[in-house]
Structure 1
Amino acid sequence: MFDQETLRTFIRVAESRSFSKAAESLHKTPAAISYRIKMLEEHLGTLLFLRTTRTVTLTPAGNHLLERCHQWLSWIDAMPDELSQINDGVERQVNLVVNNLLYNAAAAARLLSWLNQRFPFTQFQLSRQVYMGVWDSMLYGDFQLAIGVTGSESLSNSISLLPFGEISWVFVIAPHHPLAAKSGTLGEAQLRAYSAINIEDTSRNLTKRVAWLLSGQKEIKVPDMQTKLECHLDGLGVGFLPKNLCQPYIDSGQLIARDVENRRQPSPLSLAWSKERSGKAVREIVSLFRHGDERISGFLNNIDRLPPL
């Protein structure tokens, strides 16, 4: 009884709330429409409509079936194109992970919008991870592509890399922070007295990394780079920020850059993708990054050192 004609007949009656109107639009007799609905109800063993001499209303079961019918028919209508896409090598599901250092909400929305238009039958999932959590997603999670794995060498022969370049780090404090009055290079003994603002590594299987923390120093952990920046601006603690991120605040006087012992070294980052689980969608994302397409430029705002030629 769940053939397309029956389902479309049910939908027409449900939406018009009338057997006669449904019959007219389907070029059938009201008796034929009524009989088909009656057979459907008998097959299901439940009422789908409450009928009076003047009205036809859906039962709770009818409302549920109406919702399901729309889903089924949409799936049936889309299936030819979906199957064609699969035969063309397009993935049904693509999971992407972005390093917190490169995450940009506008860039993420722009990329997803383009992907959704380019591959309308592919399901896309975007995740944000920190430090080794990005590699963890690629090695142990069901992710096919990562925007910003740490390093320029792959941790697996099954994963290809495209180096982006490096992020430089600047030690910053607020103008009203007590260390702002100190001159010269700041030593560990001076820094240890103030909290380090850090974002916790999200890795579950690989060894977690700590961005910067001195022995015996108090640490305040925050969930993302924007929160870390706000904590620095508020004078809550000390630490390093990406050069491109904090430079406008240094220029405006909202932050002060200071020289410290044991500077944090630049962080190389790369695009990574699975060789074995990548289809056409992933390959086109790689192509966008390889050719510096404007659709992905927002992810590279914090990269200030290009990779060697």
Structure 2
Amino acid sequence: MDRIEAMRAFITVARSGSFSAAAEKLDKSPQLVSKYVSQLENHLASRLLNRTTRRVHLTEAGQQYLLRASQVLEEIDSMESDLNAMQHQANGLLRISAPVAFSTQHLAPLLSTFQQQYPDVDIDLNLSDRKVDIIEEGFDIALRIGHLKSSSFIAKPLTPIQLVLCAAPSYLAQYGEPHSLDDLKTHRYLRYSYIDEGNSPAPHNFLAEGQNMHNAALTCNHGELLTQSAILGHGIALQPTFICYQALEQGQLKVIMRDHKPPPMRLYAVYAHRQLLASKVRAFINFAADYYGDQPYWDNCLTAAK
């Protein structure tokens, strides 16, 4: 018995609901597919499927075996895909969804260098801060920033994203510099309304404890505008360093309360959990994972601004 073929036949029958549908997907006869499954059941000494004239149903053993067998086949397919990717140059159209502020400031150099290395890959980039549906909207990869919940998708961490509380020297001269969370109660807060959408815990939550800065002087879904408002002395902002790093380096903004900041988020490359990953997708993920590093260049502002 070919164990791999038998496992693949069983998985296809279980997911399609019938031997005839599985046979069509596998391009084999229903009799051969049934034979593979029967051999597998005999080998395991367990009934995996209950058969009726119209459909098949998984037994309890079948449910457990389906999960484990799927994982085994995915590993095998992934290994073979890796080997094939080494022999075939990545090519085709790569559709990417990415957050607006990060992309406009930091993504173009990555894409340019990637396409120099993989000239046969064309990129269709869509900038949006909303959480897109990768499969329904036809994206190969979504770049996301946050604390991602577990899901059926794969999330590859690319680089840490630091957040800092910052304000303009003119604002601090007028209203004083806060040194504790309690001090924030009397200050103006510039709040990013779209941060960490769909994920938890939100970075703003740590400010809400004890009703600190619970009233926002300005709420906006665009981080760059909030940074500009902070530079103009309009209030205190909690911002990712990839947005405000230049203002910090130039002294237009100052990091405050360095001991009171949320844990770093991460930039992730999120993609669908597929048995065979296209070489263009694998090439981009591997390239992006090495591009920014564990301390991206924009975080140099944290040491320069001290």
State the match for 2:143 in structure 1.
Answer: 147
Give 1:107 shift: 3.2
Q: Is the 8 A contact 1:150 1:269 kept in 2?
A: yes
The corresponding residue for 1:176 is 170
> How far apart in 2 are the matches of 1:256 and 1:98?
28
Partner of 1:94: 94
Judging changes above 3 Å, is the alpha-carbon distance between structure 1 residues 301 and 275 closer, same or farther for their aligned structure 2 residues? farther
Q: Secondary structure at the match of 2:102?
A: coil
- CA drift at 1:230: 0.9
Equivalences, count: 204
Cα 1:128/1:202, change in 2 over 3 Å: farther
The Cα offsets for residues 266-287 of structure 1, whole Å up to 9 and x where unpaired, read as 1133222223284222122112
Correspondence for 1:222: 220
- Structure-2 residue corresponding to 1:162: 156
- Write out aligned runs for 1:109-258 (5 A): 111=111, 115=115, 118-119=119-120, 124-130=123-129, 133-134=130-131, 136-138=132-134, 141-151=137-147, 155-157=150-152, 159-177=153-171, 181-183=175-177, 185-188=179-182, 190-201=184-195, 206=198, 211-212=203-204, 214=208, 215=211, 216-243=214-241, 245-258=243-256
Aligned 1:38-57 pairs, distance under 5 A: none
Question: Matched residues in 2 for 1:218 and 1:146: separation?
Answer: 30
Deviation for aligned residue 1:234: 0.9
Q: Which whole-Å CA distance do the structure 2 matches of 1:208 and 1:219 have between them? A: 24
Question: Larger Cα Rg: Structure 1 or Structure 2?
Answer: 1
Identity value in percent: 11
CA distance 1:268–1:92, change in 2 (3 Å):
closer
1:263 is aligned to 261
Give the counterpart letter for 2:134 in structure 1.
M
SS in 1 for 2:191: strand
Query: Are residue 280 (structure 1) and residue 279 (structure 2) matched?
Result: yes
Counterpart Cα distance in 1 of 2:112 and 2:139: 15
Given that residues 97 and 137 in structure 1 are in contact (C-alpha distance below 8 angstroms), is that contact kept between their aligned partners in structure 2?
A: no
- Over 3 Å counting, the alpha-carbon distance change for 1:187 and 1:207 in structure 2 is closer
The alpha-carbon distance between structure 1 residues 119 and 107, as it changes in their structure 2 partners (threshold 3 A), is: same
Change (3 A) 1:180 1:191: farther
Unaligned residue ranges in structure 1 (runs of 5+): 1-87, 305-309
Contact kept in structure 2, 1:200 and 1:223, CA below 8 Å: yes
> C-alpha distance in 1, partners of 2:101/2:261?
18
Checking the alignment, whether the CA contact within 8 Å between 2:90 and 2:283 is kept in structure 1 is: no
> 1:278-300 deviations in whole A, cap 9, x for unaligned?
4222122112124x25xx78xx5
Residue identity matched to 1:99? P
After superposition, the CA RMSD in angstroms is: 4.0
CA displacement at 1:210 relative to structure 2: 5.3
Q: What's the offset of the Cα at 1:242? A: 2.6
Secondary structure of the 2:157 match is strand
C-alpha offsets along residues 219-277 of structure 1, whole Å, 9 cap, x if unaligned?
A: 52334332222111011221222346545433433212221785322113322222328
Alpha-carbon distance change, 244 to 128 in structure 1, aligned in 2, over 3 angstroms = closer
SS of equivalent residue, structure 2 residue 155: strand
The answer for unaligned runs of 5 or more in structure 2 is: 1-87, 301-306
Q: Tell me if structure 2 keeps the 8 A contact 1:149–1:272.
A: no
Amino acid at match of 2:288: F
Cα 1:109–1:137 change in 2 (3 A) is farther
Q: Which amino acid aligns with 2:150?
A: L
Query: CA offsets, 1:155-175, max 9 Å, x none?
Result: 323x22322242222211111
CA distance in 1, matches of 2:269, 2:187: 38
Contact 1:197 1:228 in 2 (8 A): yes
